[in-house]
Chains A and B, each alone.
Chain A
Amino acid sequence: MTNPISDILNETELMFLIGTNPTEAHPVIGYKMRKAARKGVKLVVCDPRHIDLVDEADYWLRLKPGTDIPLLNGLMHIIIKEGLEDKKFIEERTENYEELKAIVESYTPERVSELTGISVDDLYSVARLYAKTDKAMIFYTLGITEHICGTRNVMSCANLAMLTGHLGRPGCGVCPQRGQNNVQGACDMGALPNVFSGYQGVGVDAAREKHEKAWGVPLSGKVGLKIPEMFKAAHEGQVKAMYILGENPVLTDPDANHIRKALEHLEFLVVQELFLTETAEYADVILPAASFAECDGTFTNTERRVQRVRQAIDPIPGQANWQTICQMVTKMGYPMSYNDPSEIWDEMASLSPSMAGINYQRIDEMNSIQWPCPTTDHPGTPVLHVGKFTRGLGLFQPSEHIPPAEMPDAEYPFLLSTGRILQHYNVTTPYSPGISSIWDKEMSEVNPQDAEKLGVKTGDKLKVTSRRGEAITNVKVTDRVLPGVIWMSFHYNGTPTNALTSDGLDPITGTGEYKVAAVKLEKI
């Protein structure tokens, strides 16, 4: 997020939500949004599904799935036509405006209304409201990124914010809410194939030399494989061995059957996990993992806020995860020894200028610090891009409409969309006795019209089949979803939703298109 969560209640005048369901995926952020809306902050919700916050919204743009770019282009079209763009901001802080203008030119309200299903009137109202409001924030999550055009969707959100000067100030900004608790941190730490910690490119000589010196070994400058490429390479026999820490791609990644086959092909697989998950079943060696309550460390939240994780009980497997990793690596002939996790943090910080000013002592004193924080007397940075973008000028990167990779057809007539529900979190909460005693099975959402045609009512079972696999699910009949759509979560191993999801990928990030796939439904 460019701006802090506290801006929702303290600063902003308009919240523009697209492809995000905060009261379920980021509940406390969602509760704060609801509170803000009730005290008069304007709220626009763009979502095909009738999510909770629709009930608090000034405008609900119920767009057809996969039409986010036409919607955003259409809003920009109106803003430019009516002269509501922030000319000073565009002039001083951005480049490539002419291309944006040229591309959105053809996204007339009438054409966009046709593509998205949103009325022309609403398009005008929302475009004017967003452009004329001084402080407006855009929020998005997986509803934007989990498409083949995910990166393009994200850029289009940024275009809209830059066009109207809604960046670099309190109460403004573009705010992706990170899903998993430490996605931000995993990226910051360089658990990515192209960068070291602090986003220092592996191909950048200075960065590599600095790490070679610190770690005492030569390092590769070749960008590594992203997850989908890893599994593809495993499938094809180039990747032979894998180490997987605390993830269960068989349940959570798209096209599960493909992942299973890839894991089968490996010569050697090590999994470090809390439970014997679907993925761990394929391991040659399983190392038992410790939970968050058994380790010291830090997490970094969606607003770049570094906070402490503190050990509350003795690790159930006998040792913390960082100790296990150190011992394993030391056994391989590369000594890794730290007295405690603060020393690991300090090593990372000494190599990463954007986090160099953060240490455990400061976090203890201040409760949390938001990076960038270059020096130990720096207070941290709640708002990004003040006065200047990281890259200098903000670059408009306009895009044409890119339809989803797979759309419903005669054979697979329903559109499957997937997401999170409030009560569960990926693969840990289903092991919570309290939570699973109430929420223990998938309840897929189907529109009443379709339910009638299929002859099902709430509680009945459906077989869902896609070109890639099938799953059995319970049904919840509700007009939260449009006719022709089935909405499912991915938390239950009894209903492996990701056996169904599309194999379409965003070519830039490798993120799977979880949000749109074609399926057929049968009552069983």
Chain B
Amino acid sequence: MLVELVKLNINGREVEAPAGSTILQAAELAGIEIPRLCYDKELSPLGACRLCVVEVKGNRLLPASCVTPISAGMVVDTESPAVAEARKTILELLIANHPLDCMTCDKLGDCKLADYCYKYGVKDSAFAGEKHDYAIDDSNPFIIRDLNKCILCGACVRACEELTGADNLSYLNRGFHRKATTAGDVDYIDSDNCVFCGQCVAVCPTGALTEKTLAGKARRWDIDRVRTTCPFCGTGCNFDLAVKEGKIIGVLSNPDAPVNQRMLCVKGRFGWDYIYNEKRLTSPLIKKNGKFETASWDEAYDLIATKFKEIKDKYGSESFAALSSARCTNEENFLVGKFTRAVMGTNNVDHCART
């Protein structure tokens, strides 16, 4: 199927995009980023925050670029003075009831609200008024929910419904009391449908939803992100391990993940902490008189080498068998096969039956 390309002008540049694209998508294709809060390319468009407004020649209103389709010959300015002014007003309205505790907020550095306020020089609000006093929900081990910082972009509601399909979140009340929350406004842990996939956290543009393990551990810009593959099932999701000073403090979604984009499940997002379980074995152990005693690597290898050779000499190669692991890497599995075949002289190698 050939998609027709439409020509238009954005910020003085001639660009092309497939027919049916929105202005925001066309700009993105041309490498021009339009500020947005409620728009998320993995979710259905909402057109609610209006931060993505742009100026379109011949149009007296400023349309929201995330829901306005392109047309041939359109002339768009994404950063005109009128646009900047409009964005400033929107941001001032958004922070009118916002706690503004960026100094201690775990999201700063990855908070779109703070980033855009910085960009448009918004410090305080002409509309400052009543603030919320919602209790913080940290009832579960994974997610902290501080709805005082919620800007009602609806990304969490859409992610829960459209990505996971858990349908655990919706809107409650009207006006100032409007909330994006669970049915009955209960804590996550008490909500019926939460599967703790954390998709809502991954898409939240502010500090309203954050990973509990990261709380107070690092400013976002001090986190090293190491991209890796999930060890918990055969789907093969990718994510970033968040590392600070040589220690893992959490998992962060990586939108470039080939299989899953930002989607994960409870195991992938929150199961990594087994790594620091104090029961981890840290040195070789040798059983003496029925009890395990700590040994050096060399002692362990010497004993293994002697015993394996002895048994091979006495009973033959077929008296040895190796069980490799469907949890370990390809490289480790290859080495176990090579060891069994080339050194022990047998093909008695298999991996756990529980496929």
A residues bordering B, Cβ < 8 Å? Answer: 5-6, 23, 25-29, 31-32, 34-35, 38, 56, 142, 145, 177-194, 196-197, 202, 211, 215-217, 219-220, 222-228, 230, 233-234, 238-247, 249, 252-254, 267-268, 270, 273-276, 283-289, 291-295, 297-303, 305-314, 316-318, 321-322, 324-329, 331-334, 336, 341, 344-345, 347-348, 367-368, 422-426, 428-429, 431-435, 437-438, 510-512, 514
Name B238's contact: one of A23, A307, A328, A429 (CB within 8 Å). Answer: A307
The answer to whether B307 has its CB under 8 Å from any CB of chain A is yes
Asked if residues A35 and B264 are in contact (CB atoms below 8 Å), the reply is no
Instruction: List residues of chain A with CB within 8 A of the CB of B346.
Output: 220, 222, 224
B349 near A247: Cβ-Cβ < 8 Å? no
User: Would you call A431 and B277 a contact (CB within 8 A)?
Assistant: yes
B272 near A336 (CB under 8 angstroms)?
no
The residue on B at minimum CB distance from A31 is B164
Asked if A328 contacts B301 (CB within 8 A), the reply is yes
Asked if A432 and B270 make an inter-chain contact with CB atoms under 8 angstroms apart, the answer reads yes
B184 contacts the other chain (CB 8 A): no
- Choice from B226, B286, B336, B353 contacting A284 with Cβ under 8 Å: B286
Task: Determine if B352 and A189 form an interchain contact, defined as CB atoms under 8 angstroms apart.
Answer: no
- Would you list 29 pairs from A and B whose C-beta atoms are within 8 A, ordered by A residue? A5-B259, A28-B268, A56-B165, A142-B354, A181-B229, A181-B231, A185-B333, A191-B333, A219-B345, A220-B341, A220-B346, A238-B318, A240-B315, A243-B340, A247-B325, A249-B353, A276-B279, A286-B281, A288-B280, A288-B285, A291-B275, A292-B231, A311-B226, A316-B282, A329-B335, A344-B331, A423-B196, A429-B271, A435-B270
Partner of B234, one of A180, A270, A295, A298: A180
Cβ of B171 within 8 Å of any chain A Cβ, yes or no, is no
Q: Shortest beta-carbon distance, A223 to chain B, in Å?
A: 6
- Residues on A with C-beta less than 8 A from B309 are 332-333
Partner of A273, one of B273, B281, B303: B281
| A225 partner, pick from B287, B330, B342, B348, beta carbons under 8 A | B348
Question: What chain B residues lie within 8 Å of A178 (beta carbons)?
Answer: 234, 355
* Contact A189-B330, Cβ < 8 Å, known A225-B321, A241-B319: yes
Q: Which residue of A lies closest to B297 (CB)?
A: A327
- B248 beta carbon closer than 8 Å to chain A: yes
Among A35, A219, A224, A276, chain B packs the most CB atoms within 10 A around the CB of A224
For the complex of A and B, 5 pairs with smallest distance between CB atoms: A301-B236, A297-B329, A224-B347, A27-B265, A178-B234
Evaluate contact between A31 and B263: CB separation under 8 angstroms: yes
A327: nearest chain-B partner, CB-CB: B301
Contact of B226 among A189, A244, A312 (CB under 8 A): A312
What A residues does B335 contact at CB under 8 A?
Answer: 322, 325-326, 329, 336, 344
Interface size on B, residues (CB 8 A): 110
Is B226 a contact partner of A310 (Cβ separation < 8 A)? Answer: yes
Residue of A nearest to B263 (CB): A28
Contact A247 to B327, CB < 8 A, known contacts A238-B319, A422-B265: yes
B284 touches A288 (CB 8 A): yes
| In the complex, chain B residues 93-127 whose Cβ is within 8 Å of any chain A Cβ | none
A190 pairs with B284, CB closer than 8 A: no
CA distance A361 to B282 in the complex (A): 32
Give the most central of A27, A35, A230, A314: most B CB within 10 Å. A27
> In the assembled complex, which residues on chain B have CB atoms less than 8 Å from the CB atom of A233?
321
Contact A285 B300 (CB under 8 A): yes
Given the interface pairs A276-B281, A299-B231, A423-B267, the reply to whether A185 lies near B330 with Cβ below 8 Å is: yes
Residue of A nearest to B341 (CB): A219
Given A220-B345, A288-B283, A435-B270, CB of A182 within 8 Å of CB of B265? no
A187 vs chain B, min Cβ distance (A)? 8
Verify B275–A293 contact, CB threshold 8 A: yes
Closest approach, in angstroms, between the C-beta of A282 and any C-beta of chain B?
9
Among B330, B337, B343, which residue has the most Cβ atoms of chain A within 10 A?
B330
User: Looking across the interface, which residue of chain B has its beta carbon closest to that of A245?
Assistant: B325
Q: Are A268 and B307 within 8 A (Cβ)?
A: yes
Given A241-B312, A298-B330, output 16 extra A-B contacts at Cβ < 8 Å: A28-B263, A142-B355, A179-B354, A182-B328, A211-B342, A242-B320, A243-B322, A254-B353, A292-B228, A299-B231, A311-B226, A325-B332, A329-B343, A347-B334, A422-B267, A423-B266
